[in-house]
Amino acid sequence: MFDSRHIKTFHAVVTAGSYSAAARALGYTQPAITQQMKALERAVGTPLFTRVGRRMRLTEAGEALARHAEVILDSLTAAQRQMSSLTRLRAGRVRVCAFPSAGATLIPEALARLAADHPGVRVELQEGEPPDSLRRLVRGECDITLAFTYPGLHEQVPDELVEIPLFEDQLTVLLPIGHPLARRRAVKLADLAEERWIAGCLRCRTNFLHECAEQGFAPDIAFTTDDNLVVQSLVAEGLGVAMMPGLVLSFLRHDKITGRALDPACRRQVSAYVLREHLRIPATALVLDELKAVAARRVGC
């Protein structure tokens, strides 16, 4: 209904007391002030000023608008300042949903870099495994999702999402330190066909079963858990072995377990996902840049 320029001019007229005084204060010509006030009166549908001799008075509508004008202008100024802070990365909120091993490795390092240069940008963390974490992104419950895919599973990514590949994470096998195969630099999955296994999240478990089938055996899955520390504890006690992502090797907490690469190598793709239009949001783009910088040092993990 209102043009903010007209409200600013109206406020100047009320404050200065006349069109000519407002023109001088704003650096306009008096006809320009007159035109703006006529346009504002057309917008509200009623006169805002009346003249009594050489003096100008506010009508009832003018008095009502004058009470709101300063509040409107203050709100616009506050909005402009907030928009400036967001675009200049002095402020902003980014909600990141990540799977656990990324949350324990990539995220802390990226956030430390971010906090050093842009302390006003706030990052809120959520934990989630794909594909649920991707659905959260589509629903608008987060701004960036870190997820992984396996090449043999032919998984679909929602069309509205943009994938930013970060790095390939090489899968490993966690073994008790005294396991006969722990002496090797790499192990074949088929050599562990008779072992009891500990499986992880649904997507990892599906890939694990696929890889075992490719090697000609069906694994004996004794335990299933999404908790990496629980997996480590079970392996440490000799209750099974586990196929785990290389990221987990960054935070092994048991000295009774070791990780060995698979032969042939098996990898998963770790990527960031974002809604296409969110790539233009400065704070979101900044967090993506930090994640890419941290991931670049993990190539070949």
Q: Of 72, 88, 104, which marks where a domain is finished?
A: 88
Q: Establish if 18 belongs to a structural domain.
A: yes
| pLDDT number for residue 82 | 61
> Does one domain contain both 127 and 268?
yes
CATH code for the domain of 290: 3.40.190.290
> Does one domain contain both 221 and 107?
yes
| pLDDT number for residue 176 | 95
Q: Establish if 261 belongs to a structural domain.
A: yes
Q: Establish if 158 belongs to a structural domain.
A: yes
Q: Which two tokens stand for residue 180?
A: 């006969």
> Does one domain contain both 159 and 242?
yes
Contact between 170 and 261 (Cβ < 8 Å): yes
Q: Establish if 49 belongs to a structural domain.
A: yes
Distance, in Å, from the CA atom of 292 to the CA atom of 199, rounded to the nearest integer, reads 29
Q: Which domain holds residue 80?
A: 4-88
Q: Which two tokens stand for residue 220?
A: 């004996």
Q: Establish if 168 belongs to a structural domain.
A: yes
Q: Which two tokens stand for residue 229?
A: 């520390």
Q: Establish if 301 belongs to a structural domain.
A: no
> Does one domain contain both 19 and 134?
no
> Does one domain contain both 103 and 63?
no
> Does one domain contain both 66 and 122?
no
> Does one domain contain both 153 and 279?
yes
Q: Of 88, 112, 143, which marks where a domain is finished?
A: 88
Distance, in Å, from the CA atom of 209 to the CA atom of 218, rounded to the nearest integer, reads 7
Q: Establish if 280 belongs to a structural domain.
A: yes
Residue owning tokens 């002030």: 33
The whole-number mean pLDDT for each consecutive block of 10 residues of the chain, a chain of 301 residues, reads: 85 90 91 92 90 81 89 77 58 89 93 88 92 92 94 82 94 94 93 96 92 95 92 95 91 86 92 91 90 82 41
Contact between 246 and 101 (Cβ < 8 Å): no
| pLDDT number for residue 254 | 81
Q: Establish if 31 belongs to a structural domain.
A: yes
ω into residue 264 within 30 of 0, thus cis? yes
Integer CA distances (angstroms), 294 to 16, 106, 182, in order: 57, 7, 30
> Does one domain contain both 100 and 81?
no
Nearest to 148 by CA among 106, 192, 209: 106
Distance, in Å, from the CA atom of 197 to the CA atom of 199, rounded to the nearest integer, reads 6
> Does one domain contain both 131 and 225?
yes
Q: Which two tokens stand for residue 264?
A: 């042939």
> Does one domain contain both 108 and 252?
yes
CATH code for the domain of 77: 1.10.10.10
> Does one domain contain both 65 and 113?
no
Q: Of 30, 56, 88, which marks where a domain is finished?
A: 88
Q: Which two tokens stand for residue 126?
A: 């959520």
Q: How many domains are contained in the chain? A: 2
Contact between 71 and 40 (Cβ < 8 Å): no
Q: How crowded is residue 68: how many other Cβ atoms within 10 Å of its Cβ?
A: 12
Nearest to 246 by CA among 102, 96, 98: 102
> Does one domain contain both 117 and 104?
yes
Q: How crowded is residue 129: how many other Cβ atoms within 10 Å of its Cβ?
A: 19
pTM for the structure as a whole: 0.70
Distance, in Å, from the CA atom of 192 to the CA atom of 16, rounded to the nearest integer, reads 87
